[in-house]
Chain A
């Protein structure tokens, strides 16, 4: 059974650019969440999608957005990149969020 797949694994972008990250959840999982992980702040919730609808969003600026497609695959977009956006971005999927998520290996984004 394939796990959660995130692409690309590594990304280097310049300040001011925008970036799109992709996530393919485990087959059958309709809930997809995104988290940002940094050494200083740890793992922080970005947003969660269920059946193409964003159910909630964490405390991040509007530059961070996402969407989910009908096949449950999800993308997140960060516009006008800042140096502070450098982080590991993790996608997680779940059959039932109350029973825990399965995380992908993440996309390491470096903004220079």
Chain B
């Protein structure tokens, strides 16, 4: 079993829809949870950062962490064609020294 599982997609939704992206993980030591967006030929861009369980909202993006279920989610409201990208979840146990463990990414397509 991989440490972080993420459905690779592609996930295709119409413009304006609410998008739900998810990751599950197995390592209970993970304390920090992040979502990155990666466009083709670019490096990942940090979208959301959360620590421990709970919700965090930033504009059209909401990140949820449920540590009891080892499950994290990213919701995108009012999705736009410019949101079409690969979304990567990432997790760390703290201190940075162990590096981040990434999911393989979900390819999201927003249809105009």
Which chain B residues lie closer than 8 Å to A102 at the CB level? 46
Docked pose: A104 CA to B45 CA in angstroms: 9
Q: Which of B14-22, B68-76, B100-108 contacts A (4 or more CB under 8 A)?
A: B100-108
User: Could you tell me the distance in whole angstroms from the C-beta of A56 to the nearest C-beta in chain B?
Assistant: 4
Which chain B residues lie closer than 8 Å to A100 at the CB level? 32, 34, 46, 49
Judged by a CB distance under 8 angstroms, whether B29 is at the interface is no
Would you give the 0/1 interface string for A74-101, flagging 1 where the beta carbon is closer than 8 Å to chain B? Answer: 0000000000000000101010111111
Asked if A101 contacts B100 (CB within 8 A), the reply is yes
Which chain B residues lie closer than 8 Å to A47 at the CB level? 99
Docked pose: A69 CA to B37 CA in angstroms: 29
Chosen A-B contacts, 28 in total, with CB atoms closer than 8 Å, are A4-B43, A31-B96, A33-B96, A33-B100, A35-B99, A35-B102, A42-B88, A42-B103, A43-B44, A43-B88, A43-B100, A45-B101, A48-B99, A55-B96, A56-B98, A90-B44, A92-B43, A94-B96, A98-B51, A99-B49, A100-B46, A101-B46, A102-B46, A103-B36, A103-B43, A103-B44, A105-B41, A106-B43
